[in-house]
Amino acid sequence: MNEKRRRRLTLEPRQQGVRLQLTRSTVAQLSAIVSGLWLCLDIISNTAADIYATRQPETALAWVRNHPTALVTHAGRQLESDTGELDKDAIVALVRHAVRSDPLQAGALRVLGFAVYRGGDGSQAEALMRLAGERSLRDFGAQSWLFARRLTGGDYEAALVHLDAILRVWPRVSDRFLGTLVGLANHPDGQIHLIERLKHNPPWREWLLQHLPKETPSPERLYALYSALESADTPLTIDELRPYLRRLIAIGAYSTAYVMQVEFLPDERIATLGLLNNGGFDLPLTDLPFDWTIANARGALTEIVVDNKANRALRVKFHNTRVPYRHFAQLLLLRPGSYRLVGQVKPVNLRNDRGMQWVISCTGKNRQRLGASERTTGNGGWARFEMSFDVPDSDDCEAQEIRLVLAARISAEQQASGEIWYDDLQIERSEATMAPPSGTE
């Protein structure tokens, strides 16, 4: 054997091993590539199916033939589009296919429940819908069906459980149920259960209490509801109570509104109530009707501030422009008789042709003016002012209003600069009002 052949025989096993190793490596790489491509294709298929499942279920099923959501959507559309005899078996087959793919699919139970209900089997539909609702509080169709079913049966407590689930998960559909909630609030039995649900302060409570008063023809019927919520573990907020008070006032139920506002106030504020409330401006403003209310005024700033005596007082600051100022007021509930308004005033470089004054008027249609204080302008220190007025015994003056105004008669007289301060306002009954009628003991 020559030297070349010996060398070739010596090298061939090694080369064969290298070739074998290269072959195994190549196979592993190819296998990894194929697996990766298969995984990518699977991800793409499932992603596409997820995208089209609720909008184009047929397209989704072309990507993934057993996609549970697409199967349920497809079955549901068949159910909705069926105008003749219901092909219940076909729908059941689709639904069962969906359940096999996803045993926890609540939508499948809901669609099957609709199919069974349309087929005339109410009891089986009830059982299926109840299971669907228990499996998913987010299933709008099942919760809506159960809500309507319980409501029709007069089971208001159970109906509100399902409605609560809907409004928590789907707040954007709240307006669809507003009319039903208004009906429950005005129904003796419905109101009782609605109160119990609202006492737990669901996230839709403020929304309802913002809309309920104006949608209710006779808002006095809501008094028990609001009164019960004031004593709840999570009591009413000012924002929840304010629309109701304003609605009562709009229909002229002033006494009811006042009693409700007083019930709402904490004990420390009730102790300070008078004919005029918070006249010293020492308490935070609530923006409730029988308290001071501030409206935005372009060209003037109205605020409660601490003056140089470390005392809280009202200040109106004008920005040297024309402003029809009448943006600070309070609703009053004074009995017929004679009264006197007293207080402290301090103008600070207040420049205006006519000055500032307090005006007291009736709130009826005629808005009869009962009195006005002297006009204040210029510059000076704190000084006492006083005005007298009479409240007539008239249905058109059951409630009154005190309002701070710029006494301008025409636009040119609205130009104002500087500021004015008020403090220690009180309304007192005059002796004539307090004295007994003539001829009595």
> What is the DSSP secondary-structure string of 252-290?
T-HHHHHHHHHHHS-HHHHTT--SSTTTT--SPP---TT
Cα–Cα distance between 156 and 3 in angstroms, integer?
A: 104
Whether the per-residue pLDDT at 287 is higher than 70: the answer is: yes
pLDDT band at 34 (very low <50, low <70, confident <90, very high): very low
Whether the per-residue pLDDT at 257 is higher than 70: the answer is: yes
- pLDDT reported for residue 125: 67
Mean pLDDT over 218-234 rounds to 91
Whether the per-residue pLDDT at 5 is higher than 80: the answer is: no
Q: What is the pLDDT of residues 292-335, one digit of tens each?
A: 999 998 999 999 998 776 789 999 999 999 999 999 999 999 99
Sheet containing 369-372: give its strands across: 293-294, 328-332, 400-406, 356-362, 369-372
Q: What percent of the chain has pLDDT over 90?
A: 52
- pLDDT reported for residue 330: 96
Q: Which two tokens stand for residue 203?
A: 């996230």
Q: What is the pLDDT of residues 374-388, one digit of tens each?
A: 999 999 999 999 999
Between 342 and 27, the higher pLDDT residue: 342
Q: Which two tokens stand for residue 130?
A: 């109840």
Indicate the angle between helix axes 68-81 and 3-52, nearest 10 degrees.
30
Mean pLDDT over 10-33 rounds to 55
Phi, psi of 367 (to 5 degrees): 45, 50
Q: Which two tokens stand for residue 9?
A: 């025989």
Indicate the angle between helix axes 188-199 and 178-185, nearest 10 degrees.
110
Cα–Cα distance between 125 and 121 in angstroms, integer?
A: 6
pLDDT band at 256 (very low <50, low <70, confident <90, very high): very high
Phi, psi of 305 (to 5 degrees): -135, 170
The secondary structure of 210-262, three-state, reads HHHHHHCCCHHHHHHHHHHHHCCCCCCCHHHHHHHHHHHHHCCCHHHHHHHHH
pLDDT band at 36 (very low <50, low <70, confident <90, very high): very low
- pLDDT reported for residue 268: 80
- pLDDT reported for residue 373: 96
Which residues does residue 406 pair with via DSSP β-bridges, in sequence order?
Answer: 356
Q: What is the pLDDT of residues 121-137, one digit of tens each?
A: 556 666 777 777 666 66
Whether the per-residue pLDDT at 372 is higher than 60: the answer is: yes
Mean pLDDT over 218-227 rounds to 93
- pLDDT reported for residue 426: 96
Q: How far is CA 273 from CA 338, 389, 414, in A?
A: 19, 21, 34
Per DSSP, the three-state class of 352 is coil
Per DSSP, the three-state class of 291 is coil
Cα–Cα distance between 270 and 292 in angstroms, integer?
A: 15
Between 243 and 64, the higher pLDDT residue: 243
Q: Which amino acid is at 360?
A: I
- pLDDT reported for residue 108: 63
pLDDT band at 398 (very low <50, low <70, confident <90, very high): very high
pLDDT band at 338 (very low <50, low <70, confident <90, very high): very high
Domains and CATH numbers, the chain: 36-136 (1.25.40.10), 141-264 (no CATH), 293-434 (2.60.120.260)
Which of 87-91, 207-211, 281-285, 361-365 is the least confident region? Answer: 87-91
Give me the torsion for CA of 11, 14, 19, 24, rounded to 10°. 170
Cα–Cα distance between 124 and 164 in angstroms, integer?
A: 24
Per DSSP, the three-state class of 8 is helix
Whether the per-residue pLDDT at 227 is higher than 80: the answer is: yes
- pLDDT reported for residue 434: 46
Q: What is the mean pLDDT of the chain?
A: 79
CB–CB of 213/220 below 8 Å? Answer: no
pLDDT band at 275 (very low <50, low <70, confident <90, very high): very high
Cα–Cα distance between 20 and 10 in angstroms, integer?
A: 17
Q: Which two tokens stand for residue 272?
A: 């300070």
Whether the per-residue pLDDT at 64 is higher than 90: the answer is: no
Percent of the chain that is helix, strand, coil (3-state, to 5): 50, 20, 30
Which of 114-118, 417-421, 434-438 is the least confident region? Answer: 434-438
Query: Residue 85 gets which letter from DSSP?
Result: S
Q: What is the pLDDT of residues 148-196, one digit of tens each?
A: 888 989 999 999 999 999 999 888 989 999 999 999 999 999 999 999 9
Whether the per-residue pLDDT at 39 is higher than 70: the answer is: no
CB–CB of 408/414 below 8 Å? Answer: yes
pLDDT band at 53 (very low <50, low <70, confident <90, very high): very low
Which of 18-32, 118-132, 173-187, 338-352 is the least confident region? Answer: 18-32
Q: Which amino acid is at 13?
A: P
Q: Which two tokens stand for residue 117?
A: 């209900």
Which of 175-179, 253-257, 427-431 is the least confident region? Answer: 427-431
pLDDT band at 3 (very low <50, low <70, confident <90, very high): low
